[in-house]
Structure 1
Amino acid sequence: MLIFRQNHAARGEQRPYVAPIEEATPATAPRHRVKRNSLAGPPPTPAKAWNYSAPVLLEVERWLKQHNLSAAKFGRQAVGDPNLVSDLRGGRDPSSKVVARIRAFMAKGGDHD
């Protein structure tokens, strides 16, 4: 089933007005304004719902420190992708084949064929 969004501007029509939903609080309830201390800094940012990193990323980071190799060079030599490590740091979940190639490369000591 396809769902199409209506593009009122493209058709030259005005968008229908939808009234905002009013709060369920009674009109007699007092509304208090919370004062923030201007020296306190910005409000804290909420934590992410999940913080996942691929298990192989920890092994790669440790290996990079031990062998003094750049992340781009490691990714290019291990799997042919210079963005591999930065993508892993950003949350990429590698396939089992890619993980096997990474671990095989590290097991050889970084010798590229």
Structure 2
Amino acid sequence: MILVARHHLAHPVLRQLQPFRGAVLPHVLSGLVAPGDVGKTTLQLTQAVKLAIGRALLRLRVHQRCKVLVISLEDDRAELHRRLLAICWHHGIVKAELRGWLYCG
């Protein structure tokens, strides 16, 4: 899965931050590696939703709401949408909050 977040912050301090567990930093490509069937896709999709709505989920703070593009090379579009709906249901998020902020390819 590829998660691309477009932040509109160009603050010099952000460029100096070292990546930390669970973080998505602007202009930084990162990966998530773990054995199969441990929840990597669910974690990444939850992070995508968190960034798109601009609210903390999984106790990780969001500094700025941003547009997110999710590209999945494993799941088809229907499965991706099913997973996103489950995440939204679990966290009490309505689809309208994601409109124009979360894109799936």
Bin of the TM-score, shorter chain as denominator length = under 0.3
Q: TM-score, normalised by structure 1?
A: 0.25
With a CA cutoff of 8 Å and minimum separation of 6, indicate the structure with the bigger relative contact order: 2
Structure with higher Rg: it is 1
TM-score (norm 2): 0.26
Higher strand share goes to which structure? 2
